[in-house]
Chains A and B, each alone.
Chain A
Amino acid sequence: MAARDAGALAPAVPRPDAERSCAAATCCAAATVEQGPRPVAAPAPTPAAAKRGLASRFNRKETWLSLVVLVLFVAGWEWGPVLLGIAPYNIPRLSLVIQEGVFLYQNSELLYHAGITCFEVLVGFSLGCLLGAVIGYLLGMSPTTEVIASPYLLALQIAPKVAFAPLFILWFGYNMAPKILVAVLIVFFPILINVLTSVRTVDPALINLARSFKASRWQIFWKIEFPASMPSLFSGLRIGSTLAVIGVTVGEFVGGNTGLGYLLVQGEGQGNTGSVFAAIILLTLIGIIAYALVILAERRVLRYLPKRDFGDVAIPI
């Protein structure tokens, strides 16, 4: 019953790499079968060989083609609108957007607003992750609590989190708190669901193994369940890192006079399409940096996994 509820919640969360959440739990079992025919004496792949394999996968050809796409995109944005006769107040060409960005930098404290947004994203993301993970682990360890809580969690998950933004502003006023809270709320669920599902799907045989060594409940959590949940936790963190930017931006739309979301709305009010685009680009950059930081942390923590598991988005860091 409990497991089914977890499953019912799970599909509502976008999971770009759902297959990896089970990789940790099943890789030994699967590999036991697939590598059967290998003779005992055969040398296993060394870590160095695995690294070389990774390097050759993202070889020069793909990198160049990827750069060509970037160049085409930049060129298309610069000359496309003129060639197609699109008015600058609909799609300003790239150089105009950059000019507008420089203007904002010189006259509207662009860096200050970007810094505020970064701070809100960082705090909102961190608190949301912490809250989601703690509650995810607690519910994961207590099936009864999960059964009791799951309909309400489902309802909260379905509720559009950004719709809470005006409410939070009514409660806390025009400061950073409402923006951070929207981010916390929107980050919370993917983390919660991923952690909960992963704790639930730990191979019971692993738990039994620990029990046979007379492990305490705490030892089972700390030595088996917690590390086993890492791949899923990081899938959640990846999703959360991008959602945090969305939450903060919406919070800034709704009220206050700081942050890139505020600048964006200002630009809209002035009919200044260029500054709207400049704000969108910066918000995207913040999202990319947050995502990249999660990937970097993930590579450190999940270094025990075969390298191919990182292949979904190649970030050249």
Chain B
Amino acid sequence: MATSRLEFRQVTKRFGNRNSGDGRDPVITAVEDVSLALADGEVVSLIGPSGCGKSTLLNLGSGLDRPNEGTVLVDGEEVDGPNSHVAFMLQKDLLLPWRTIRDNVELGQEIQGVARESRRTVALDLIAKYKLGEFANAYPHQLSGGMRQRAALARTMAMDPDVLLLDEPFSALDAQTKMVLQTDLARTLKDEGKTAFLITHDLIEAVALSDRVLVMSSRPGRIIEEIAVEMPEREKPIARRGHPKMGDYITKLMGLLHIGDEIEAA
């Protein structure tokens, strides 16, 4: 079997003062003994109750944080810091308000010292691809929420990462904009053959966009279930929404997350 693009091996992450035993500053175990692997070109979603450590996994995957136990591997190599194989996108677009959209898309390459002309070409291509052409020289505040999130996607893709880590990227958008952007993302992932790890609260989004869905328990977060999504056409999430199997998957996920027993957990 080929090397996994992204792999977690028995990863545990704790927060708080590791030396204090007096309970004044209690140690919180965010995730415990998490193992998972994403094959090349695979899209996997992670769902779980609030505060179960989903975002912690994302920080570990991007190398911004290190696990206390276990290892995180990208392309078979241990992650020991931020690296150019992985890029992330969050719920907040994180566009710099003082930069134009084009300059925002260029940010990553600029930091890595790519020559101005070539990074500009890449940025303008992506801006056109995500239908932001006429806003290349606009500032973020002049764009709608959906446009800003597409600009953030362009900035992420400008790094040409092997693995995309997506932390609730569409949760701040309205329902229609969300569906349009889900389609944009699904097509991009399919066309470019990217591997993606998607953290979400939206059960339909998880099923519609993914090959597999992982379910996490509440803290300390553990992976309690893995569901393979057996639906065709991953690049067409809107069609998948209407697929006859969708209802079954959602029912199953709701059961696993105890939605209904614990309304607030949703």
Contact = CB atoms under 8 A, between A and B. Distances in A.
B227 interface: no
A36 B174 contact: yes
Given A40-B180, A44-B135, A206-B94, A28 B83 contact: no
Contacts of B110: 223
Contact of A38 (B92, B112, B145): B145
A305 B173 CA distance: 22
Contacts of A134: none
A42 B83 CA distance: 37
Given A206-B94, A213-B111, A213-B112, A36 B145 contact: yes
Contact of B92 (A205, A219, A230, A305): A205
A227 B94 contact: no
B87 A212 contact: yes
Classify chain A: how many residues form its interface, as a range.
35 or more
Interface in B78-96: 81-84, 86-88, 90-96
B96 A214 contact: no
B96 A31 contact: no
Contacts of B107: 209-210, 213, 223
Contacts of A46: 138, 142
A39 to B, nearest CB: 6
Contacts of B112: 213-214
A36 B177 contact: yes
Contact of A44 (B92, B143, B172, B173): B143
B139 A304 contact: yes
B146 A38 contact: yes
A177 B84 CA distance: 54
A199 interface: no
A170 interface: no
A36 B140 CA distance: 14
Contacts of B255: none
B145 A45 contact: no
B176 A214 contact: no
Contacts of A203: 92, 94
A38 B149 CA distance: 13
Contacts, number: 120
B174 A28 contact: no
B146 A40 contact: yes
A214 B86 CA distance: 11
B70 interface: no
A116 interface: no
Contacts of B145: 31-33, 35-36, 38
Contacts of B172: 32-33, 36
Interface in A188-219: 203, 205-206, 208-215, 219
A96 interface: no
A224 interface: yes
A46 B137 CA distance: 11
Given A211-B82, A227-B96, A27 B144 contact: no
Given A29-B92, A36-B177, A39-B177, A213 B159 contact: yes
Contacts of A133: none
Contacts of B143: 44
B26 interface: no
A34 B157 CA distance: 26
Interface of B: 59, 62-64, 81-84, 86-88, 90-99, 107-108, 110-112, 135, 138-149, 159, 172-174, 176-177, 180-181
10 contacts: A32-B172, A36-B172, A36-B177, A47-B142, A208-B64, A209-B88, A209-B107, A211-B64, A227-B98, A304-B139
Given A27-B140, A40-B146, 13 more contacts: A24-B97, A33-B172, A35-B145, A38-B174, A39-B177, A44-B144, A50-B142, A206-B96, A212-B64, A214-B81, A214-B112, A227-B96, A228-B96
Query: Which 8 A-B pairs give the minimum distances between C-beta atoms?
Result: A213-B108, A40-B146, A213-B111, A38-B144, A36-B174, A32-B172, A304-B139, A35-B145
